[in-house]
Amino acid sequence: MAVPALTPSLLHTDAELPTLVLGPSLGTASLQLWGPAVPYLKEHFQLIAWDLPGHGESKASTEEFSMGELADGVVAMVEALQTDGVINAAQKLYYAGVSIGGATALQLAHDHTGTFAALAPICTAAKIGTPEGWMERAELVAKAGTPTMVVGSAQRWFAPGFIEKNPVVSTNLLHNLQDADRFSYAHACGALAGYDLREDLGSINVPLLAINGAQDQVCPPADAQFVAEHAPNAQAAVIDTVAHLAPAEDPTATAALLVDFFTAH
């Protein structure tokens, strides 16, 4: 196990604004996932995204990592950007992530209390799937590659009709998946296999906004409600129009929820 080195993407730089760190979903790069929402967020925040190992801008991982180590990697990236002056340490830090990036939000809230003023886990849960399911997927992708995931992901990621109405956005995201390093993808599956924060939510006191899509088959709205009911300073919201990739599917609704929540904290 090792803390992965994560590469940031500077989506909007303005050190006078609070920084919002944006996390990816499994199989996507943050630029394509969060790009549609940037116009609605950039007036309020400096926007810095990160990519999973072997996805987007980040180098492939050479060994397995846990969700705790992934969260450690995010904090190490943020600290490096503060040292370089990209992030103004005097300004507040916020975090929003999707799917595994949303699970990272809960992991950060649990492991790194005080780093972020508030966090938004999006299209995620305190436990996703089963360990057996994730290890089976890891084995398949390590052997046969990420293209084996494209058809199923297209069905899970997007609400009905989205691909037809938004061919560029959906194609870019599915290309991210095809281009992802197979072993890094498998390592991320392994991290999710060992991830379960359901019993730990009660100890998370940082403000949380759990946002899930009404049409999400992977992490339905009940998962956001579970977080809201078990973490003492959490609330839940549902976006009716989306499945599993809220910032790409409905950037205006996603951004509006984030702006309202973060500016209140």
Summarised one tens digit per residue, pLDDT across range 3-15 is 888 999 999 999 8
Per-residue pLDDT, 2: 79
Per-residue pLDDT, 149: 85
| Domains located in the chain, CATH noted | 8-263 (3.40.50.1820)
Are the C-beta atoms of residues 170 and 163 closer than 8 Å to each other?
yes
- pLDDT tens-place string over residues 152-194: 888 899 999 999 999 999 999 999 988 999 999 999 999 999 9
Residues 6 or more apart from 60 whose CB is under 8 A from it? 53, 54, 181, 183, 184
Q: What Cα–Cα distance (Å) separates residue 115 from each residue in 47, 94, 95, 101, 143? A: 16, 9, 10, 16, 38
Q: Which tokens go with 227? A: 């977080």
> SS3 for 188?
helix
Per-residue pLDDT, 264: 94
Distance CA 4, CA 6 (A): 6
Per-residue pLDDT, 6: 93
Q: What Cα–Cα distance (Å) separates residue 53 from each residue in 103, 112, 219? A: 16, 21, 23
Per-residue pLDDT, 228: 98
Element (H, E) at 10: strand 8-12
Q: Give burial (CB, 10 Å; 0-12/13-18/19+) of 132.
A: exposed
Please identify every stretch of the chain with a pLDDT value under 50, giving residue numbers as ranges. Answer: none
Per-residue pLDDT, 4: 86
The pTM is what?
0.96
